[in-house]
Homo-oligomer: A and B are copies of this chain.
Amino acid sequence: MTDSSTNMRLKLPLICFILEIILIILFGVLVQYDHDTDARDFHNKSHHDYENDFYYRYPSFQDVHVMIFIGFGFLMTFLQRYGFSSVGFNFLIAAFALQWATLMQGFFHGMHGGKIHIGVESMINADFCTGSVLISFGAVLGKTSPVQLLVMALFEVTLFAVNEFILLSLLGTRDAGGSMTIHTFGAYFGLMVTRILYRPNLDKSKHKNCSVYHSDLFAMIGTIYLWMFWPSFNSAVTAHGDDQHRTALNTYYSLAACTLSTYAMSALTAHDGKLDMVHIQNAALAGGVAAGTAGEMMLTPFGSMIVGFLAGIISVLGYKYLSPVLEDKLKIQDTCGVHNLHGMPGVLGAVVGAVTASLATREVYGAPTLAAWFEACLHTVVGFVTRTSTVSFILKLPVFGAPPDTICFEDSIYWEMPGEEAHHDELSTVRTAEMEKLNS
């Protein structure tokens, strides 16, 4: 079932060992505990224990961590025979990306005397950057080898850190929940990669590119976890006190409103007035994405609900009408529809953030003018296209072991498969017995 190019016996160990050994060496040379993590440092300044950043952020960190590993991992198990790869490759590339992100983000944002200082906030940021890679993974889901995914993660994390540096440090925008830095970036990066890896004969694997009953239920585990913990995601790195509080609250109401508009639009657009699991699993989350930038501001619950309400509508319409066009006309095969969940709602979030910030006084947020925001967006797009295209072509190298068009969306090419279920054996026993009876 596998030809030699998709055989992972040497390729995967080689890249894993090389990457991990480089990571370990760089951590040894560059990385140090930050002030709140270092035994001597924290005690010397004689702080109270409860002022340690750990108590402000660790619960949020764990919620984000669940979103990255359970949320994204299980959301992608909707394919009927791609559950091992969805959860398993998600696990592998996330474990790599969070280490590499620590270094890249530290290099751009956190150098102190030649050393990268780390603690719970850098852990959250590393998880955020990882989230961006997993969004891109959604676009290429089912069509890539684990080696390709690791290479993609290597480049994407690097570009993520560059992009984040330009937006947050150079242009001074604010984006605590990452509408722009995480969602828009991750979505368009993934779309660019899947465009360049375009497979004209992908319909040979078409019968595998759909869900079955239990795979949709597993995917709902991912959906619900992402939905529940999105308030923690958006508030995880906002300022202590009322900022974290307000961001969580705004996101909570944005998501609730988004869920109602998602159900409404799903019934309205789907065949025969029935609800479509694809919409529920994805579009109901768009409210979290869209509240990513403005969530920390004085958006009010009222404003948050409007944003979420619109995000749900846009997202369902995207799944229904835009995705087929992207595939047919632009040759963008977006397996999970990340454009509808992260792309468009991310852009919506950026616009809402720009408007909200420009309505407030400069003192309140230290935010740039509306013009600066659009400059930021423009910059992102141009630089982004150039850089991503270069990266994506590397992924086409046959040495990375991509699956052939006929065996996409299929675990068995990279995983040892267990036997079928016992009751099938029983079934076949029954059938054989019947056959024998007939023959006699």
Contact = CB atoms under 8 A, between A and B. Distances in A.
Nearest to A120: B245
A338 B301 CA distance: 34
Contact of A242 (B52, B96, B434): B52
A73 B2 CA distance: 34
A87 B8 contact: no
Nearest to A60: B58
A88 B275 CA distance: 10
B416 A217 contact: no
A51 B119 CA distance: 22
A12 B264 contact: yes
Contact of A414 (B56, B99, B265, B275): B275
Range class of the A interface residue count: 35 or more
A427 B423 CA distance: 12
A390 to B, nearest CB: 26
Interface of A: 2, 7-13, 16-17, 19-20, 23-24, 27-28, 31-33, 36-39, 41-43, 47, 49-56, 58-59, 62-63, 65-66, 69-70, 73-74, 77, 80-81, 83-84, 87-88, 91-92, 95-96, 98-99, 118-120, 123, 146, 207-208, 210-218, 220-221, 224-225, 227-229, 232, 240-246, 248-249, 252-253, 255-257, 259-261, 263-265, 267-268, 270-277, 280, 284, 298, 300-302, 305-306, 309, 364, 414-425, 427-428, 430-431, 434-435, 438-439
27 contacts: A2-B274, A8-B274, A19-B260, A24-B257, A31-B300, A31-B301, A31-B302, A33-B246, A36-B242, A37-B249, A39-B242, A43-B241, A49-B56, A50-B51, A50-B55, A54-B248, A55-B55, A58-B59, A58-B244, A88-B220, A91-B259, A99-B256, A146-B263, A212-B418, A213-B418, A276-B415, A423-B424
